[in-house]
Amino acid sequence: AVYRLSRHLTLRHIINVFFWIAVANAVIALVPLITTGQVEREFGFGLKTLDDIMMLTLPVGLVLYLWSNKLTGIAYLVGTGIAFVALLATQSRLPIMFGVFFSAVALFLALRIGHRAANGRHNGRTRAAIHRVAGFIRARIRLISVFAVILLAGVAAIRPGMLVAVWTRFADLAVAFTGGTVALRLVLWKTALVAFWDNPIFGIGPGNFDVIHQIYRYLRLDPIQTYVQGLSAHNLVLHYMAEMGLVGTLALVALLVNQFRLARFSFKNMHRASNPEVTLILYVLAAFFLITAFFEAAWMWGQMSFIFVFFVALIVRSCENLK
């Protein structure tokens, strides 16, 4: 449906819809924080997915800001700031790190685009215009840095407890391997590897990781299994290795790698695109999907699978438009 819709709307319009719906969800999640001042983890309507949605929204909003006029640029920058605060409010460590990292990657690639364009061979009039664009991108990245500092200072002044809670969660990583959610993930990852080792070709079957304690009865002797029973492996690749072995895992990795390849083709040919910022966004998100699949992601099930397929459709359409 999204692929067909992209024939009638520009890809930028469709990405705009995603961005502003994500910002609306961020606002909803921040309402309790604003009205009550509590520092509990906030997820709004996305009870298990808001952190993942916000980490995708950050680089999208920043790139849209870089390629927008002054008036709409302010809206994009404020919306991205709201998404960032909502991501902090979830206190989810890995999504925060991934969101910041891939935002930095998007800004770095934008700088390279401006630098290469400015150093290209063009006639005098075109070269002057490109220099203005390159300088415009650099100026806006500086504004992003200033805005980020002001935003964090504002949050620290208005709701200091939230930043303290986030800092505490990151500080807990020093001892997390002996307790906390990291220890639970290690148990899940170990269990997934055990299932894969016993069934390396086809795995234990789709959907069976939720009831793996019934397949391996000895797991019930581990007290931690009480807390992780019924959960996924909290790692997309390991989950597929456990449930579908090498056959399913190689198909999954092939899908992710192929989407990255298509997005890379569009990015390398962005000079022929009507909206070059779209090719940058899709390139960064394709790398996002591929890399996070080896750490922690749920791109193939639940609510996040809809977002994954949404952007896969846009990646395919972007590549076909350029071809």
- The structure's pTM equals 0.89
The whole-number pLDDT of residue 286 equals 97
| Residue reference for tokens 């680089």 | 59
Which region, left, alpha or beta, applies to residue 91 given φ > 0 means left and ψ of -120 to 50 means alpha?
Answer: left
The whole-number pLDDT of residue 175 equals 64
For residue 30, what are the CA distances in angstroms to 25, 92, 166? 9, 15, 15
Cα separation, 136 vs 158, in Å, equals: 32
Q: Which of 216, 284, 248, 274 is nearest to 56 (CA)?
A: 284
> Nearest 10 degrees: CA dihedral of 291, 296, 300, 302?
-140
Cα separation, 320 vs 315, in Å, equals: 9
Q: Which residues contact 220 (CB under 8 A, 6 or more apart)?
A: 213
The whole-number pLDDT of residue 186 equals 82
Mean pLDDT (whole number) for 22-38 = 89
The three-state secondary structure class of 230 is coil
**pLDDT tens profile 99-141:** 999 999 999 999 888 776 656 544 444 444 444 567 788 899 9
First to last CA, the chain: 21
**pLDDT tens profile 230-274:** 678 888 999 999 999 999 999 999 999 999 999 999 999 988 888
